[in-house]
Structure 1
Amino acid sequence: MADATSGSSVSVDDLEAARERLRQAEAAVDDYGEDEAKRVTEAYDAATDLLSEYVESATGTGDFAAYVEFEERFVSLVEGLPDDLPTREAFEEANELLDRRRLSEKHFEQARNVLAPAREAAETLDERAAAREHLRETRRTVRRRLSTLDDEIQARERLVDLGSADLDAPTEELREPIEAYNDAVTDAFDRYRREASARDLLGLVSATDAYPLVDYEAPPASIRAYLDEAAVGTEPLPTVLDYAGYSRSKLTHYVDDSDRFRQTVGTNETYLSRLDATPLTVGWPPSVAGRLRRRAEELVAVVARFADESVVARARTVRDLTFRADYDHLRRAAVARDELTDAERDRLASGAVEAELSDRRAERERLRAALDADAPE
C-alpha cells in the first residue's frame, strides 16, 4: 500500500483571513454607501474612458476637431453629475485642468491623478468583488483539502487495521488449496482448449453468462454464428487460429469459404487468442468469505462442464475454506502480508501512522468547524 502523505494547502487562518478581507472591503463600501459608490464608479469610468479615447487625437497640434469634441464631452459629463455626488469636486478640478487651449498627454495624466478620490471609491467595489471571489475560492480549497484528508485518513485507518493483523498466522492453509485449484483448472482448461472443438469451447464460454462471478467476455455474435455453421467449427481453437495465418491460396484447402473465414475469424482473432483459464482462477489474497463462497459455487458448476471430478473437487475445497472458523483471521493476515510494505511496517511499529492519523483527524475537525461557521456567500 503506497503512502499518501501530502502537505496541507489551506488552514483555518487562511479562511479567517479571507473573511476578514471581505469584512474590510464591505466596510469600505459602506463608508461611501452602496449606491453612492456605484454612482461614483459610473462617473469615474465614463471620465477615464474619455481620457483614454482622446489622449492621442486631442493632444498637441493634432486633430482640432477631436480636441473640441473631447472638451465638449468632458464638460457635459461633469456638468451632468449630481450636485450631491461624493467626490464631485475631483471631477470639477479635472475639468478645470483640461480647460485650456492646448492639451498634452501630461494634462491627461494629471487629470487621472486628480480623479484619484473617485478612483478610490470605484476600487472599493472592485476590492469587494475580489474579496468575495477570494473567500469563495478559499472555501473551495478547504473543501478540496477536506476531501484529501478523508482519503488520507481512510488510508491510515486501513494501515492501522492491517497492522493489527496476525502476520504469523498460517496463511498457507488458504494459499495452498487455492494454488492447487488454480493449477488444476488452468491445466484442464488448456487441455480442453486444445482438444475440444472451437464450437464447443465458445459454447462453454457463452454458458458462463449464467454465472456473473465467472467473468468471461461473451463471444462476439458473428464468430459464434460462423463456428456453429461452418465445418471448421469442429476443429480445435488452436487449429482455427493456425488457419488464420495461412495464405489465401493455402486456406482454400482447409475451409469452404476462405473469404468468410478471413472476414469473421480475422476480425475476432485477438478475442480468440486471449481465451484462457484466468476467469476461472481465484486471486490472492482471496475475497471475503461470502463472495468467495458464492464464486466458488459458480466455479464448481462451470468447471464440471469440461474438467474431471478431481478438478471439481478442488473447486469444492476452495469453497469449503470459507466455512472455516478462522477464515477471516487467515484472510486478514494474508491481505496484510500482501499489502503492507516494509516501510509501512516500520511506520506502524514506530507509531508514525497513528500520529499522522491523529493529526489529520484534528485538522479535518478544525477545517469542518471553520467551514460550518462560515456563512456561504
Structure 2
Amino acid sequence: MARSDTETELSAGTPDVVERLEQVAEAHDRAQTRVEEVGADALRDCRDIYSELRNLLESYDGRATGGGDFEAFMEFQGRVGTLTDDLPEDLPERDTFEEIDDFLQQRRLTEGDFEQAREMLSPIGDLVGRLDELDDARERYKKARTEANRRRNELSDRIDDLERLQRLGDADLDAPVERLREPIERYNDAVTEAFAEFRRNTPAKDALAVIDRADAYPLVEFRSPPAELLTYVREHDAGREPIPKLLEYADYSTSKLDHYVDDAAALRSAVATRQTYLRRLDAEPVRINWPPPSADALPWYCREYRSVVARFADESVVAALREVRGLAERDDYERLRESAVARSELTESERERLASGAVEQELSTAREARAAIDDALETYSPL
C-alpha cells in the first residue's frame, strides 16, 4: 500500500535524527579514543606549553630578528629556554619542544627561522587539536540528542492527537446526548437571563464587587474590574447607578454630565475609558460549555460557579446548576459526553480518515518513528 502524505510527514526527519545521533556518537567515540591514546591531562599540559610558545613566536617575530632589538632577542631566547626547561619526562612531543628550543638558541635569528619554528610546532598543534576535536564532538553529540528529543516530543504530541481522534471515532454518534444538553441549556439560559437582570438593575458598585470577589475562584474566568473603575464606583454617588446608566453617562457631553454627577472629570477618567470592559460583562464565565467537562471536572466547575452565581441569581438558577452537577453521577455520562465531543469536533475529513483506516495507519507510523528515536536515545545516553 502506498504511504499517505500524512504518514510520510510523520516519519519525515526521524531517520535523519536517528542517523545523525548515531554518526555524532561514533565521531565522539573516535575523538575520545584519540585523546585517551595520549591522555587528556598530558594533552592539556602539552597544549599549555604549545600555546605559550606560539604566542612567544607571534610576539617577538620582527623584534628579535636580524638587526632588530638585541634586548628583545635576548629576552625571547630566555623566555623560550625557561619554558622548555625541566619539561615532564612523559610530556607528549617533549623532544620536539627541545628541538625547537635548540633551533631558536642561535646567535642570530631571521624571519625565516621564526617561520621554520612554527612549522616544527605544527605537528604538536595537530596533536593537541585532539582536545578541541573532542569538545566539538561533545557539542555535536549534545545537539543531536536535543534534536532527537525535540522530534520525539513532536511525535508524542501527534500520537496524543491521533489517539484522541481514535477515541472520538469509537464514540456512539447516535447516543442520546440531549440527556446532557437539555439540563445544561436550561441552566445556561437561566444564568444568562439572571446576570442580564443583575447587570441592568444592580448598583454598579455592588455588581462590580461581585465580579471582583469572583477572583477567589480560578475556574470562574471573569476579568477583574480595573482598579480605577472599582475605586470610582465605591467613592462616588454615580456608583449607585446600574452599569447601563454609567455607560449612558459616559456618552454625555461634559456640560450635560455636570447635571447628573458630582465630578464629571472623574467619571470620564474612570468610566469612559473602560466602556468596552463594561459592555462585555456577561454571564459567559459561569456558563457550562458544550461539550461539557469530564465527569471528574464538572463538579468542580459547578461548585465554584455556585459560589458566584448565588450572589446575583435566585434559588431557581442555583437549583438548575445543581441539576447539572448531578449529571456527572450518571453511569452513562462519559459515554454521552464522548458522543457530544465527537459530534462537535470531528470534521467530515477526519471521519473519512477514521473510516478508511488512515488514522490507525498514521498512528502506527508515528509510534514506530517514536520507538526508533527512543531506542537511539537509550543507546546513546547523555554524556
Aligned-residue CA RMSD (Å): 3.9
* Aligned residue number for residue 45 of structure 1: 51
- Rate the CA distance shift 1:74–1:295 in 2: closer, same or farther, 3 A: closer
* Aligned residue number for residue 32 of structure 1: 38
Structure 1 residue 101 corresponds to structure 2 residue 133: no
Q: Using the TM superposition, give the Cα deviation of residue 40 of structure 1 relative to its aligned residue in structure 2, in angstroms.
A: 2.5
- Rate the CA distance shift 1:310–1:78 in 2: closer, same or farther, 3 A: closer
Q: Which amino acid aligns with 1:164?
A: D
Cα deviation digits, residues 65-121 of structure 1 (max 9, x gap): 4444334433443455356643233334444555473522x5433322222332232
- Rate the CA distance shift 1:55–1:253 in 2: closer, same or farther, 3 A: same
Q: Is the 8 A contact 1:25 1:128 kept in 2?
A: yes
SS in 2 for 1:285: coil
Q: Is the 8 A contact 1:185 1:311 kept in 2?
A: yes
Cα deviation digits, residues 235-281 of structure 1 (max 9, x gap): 22111122234344332211134454445445755543332121232
- In structure 2, distance between residues paired with 1:19 and 1:291: 47
SS in 2 for 1:254: coil
**TM-score, structure 1 length as denominator?**
0.78
Structure 1 residue 162 corresponds to structure 2 residue 165: no
* Aligned residue number for residue 288 of structure 2: 282
- In structure 2, distance between residues paired with 1:24 and 1:199: 75
SS in 2 for 1:115: helix
- Rate the CA distance shift 1:355–1:62 in 2: closer, same or farther, 3 A: farther
**TM-score, structure 2 length as denominator?**
0.77
- In structure 1, distance between residues paired with 2:311 and 2:42: 86
Structure 1 residue 254 corresponds to structure 2 residue 260: yes
SS in 1 for 2:362: helix
- Rate the CA distance shift 1:376–1:309 in 2: closer, same or farther, 3 A: closer
* Aligned residue number for residue 3 of structure 2: none
Paired residues for 1:313-352 under 5 Å: 315=321, 318-319=324-325, 321-322=327-328, 324-352=330-358
Q: Which amino acid aligns with 2:133?
A: E
Q: Is the 8 A contact 2:14 2:369 kept in 1?
A: no
- In structure 2, distance between residues paired with 1:95 and 1:228: 89
Q: Is the 8 A contact 2:63 2:72 kept in 1?
A: yes
SS in 2 for 1:86: coil
- Rate the CA distance shift 1:232–1:55 in 2: closer, same or farther, 3 A: same
* Aligned residue number for residue 196 of structure 1: 202
- In structure 2, distance between residues paired with 1:62 and 1:172: 101
- In structure 1, distance between residues paired with 2:199 and 2:59: 83
- In structure 1, distance between residues paired with 2:107 and 2:270: 91
**Number of equivalences:** 374
- Rate the CA distance shift 1:346–1:53 in 2: closer, same or farther, 3 A: farther
Q: Which amino acid aligns with 1:345?
A: R
- In structure 2, distance between residues paired with 1:248 and 1:133: 68
* Aligned residue number for residue 20 of structure 1: 26
Q: Is the 8 A contact 1:9 1:145 kept in 2?
A: no
Cα deviation digits, residues 292-336 of structure 1 (max 9, x gap): 355446656765665578766765664555455433222112212
Q: State percent identity of aligned pairs.
A: 47
- In structure 1, distance between residues paired with 2:154 and 2:283: 39
Q: Is the 8 A contact 2:17 2:144 kept in 1?
A: no
- Rate the CA distance shift 1:232–1:108 in 2: closer, same or farther, 3 A: same
Q: Relative contact order: is structure 1 or structure 2 higher (C-alpha 8 Å, sep ≥ 6)?
A: 2
- In structure 2, distance between residues paired with 1:131 and 1:324: 60
- In structure 1, distance between residues paired with 2:19 and 2:29: 15
- Rate the CA distance shift 1:19–1:206 in 2: closer, same or farther, 3 A: closer
Q: Which amino acid aligns with 1:241?
A: L
Q: Using the TM superposition, give the Cα deviation of residue 370 of structure 1 relative to its aligned residue in structure 2, in angstroms.
A: 4.3
- In structure 2, distance between residues paired with 1:100 and 1:304: 103
- Rate the CA distance shift 1:103–1:305 in 2: closer, same or farther, 3 A: closer
- In structure 2, distance between residues paired with 1:152 and 1:300: 37
Structure 1 unaligned blocks of 5 or more = none
Q: Which amino acid aligns with 1:152?
A: R
Q: Is the 8 A contact 1:223 1:264 kept in 2?
A: yes
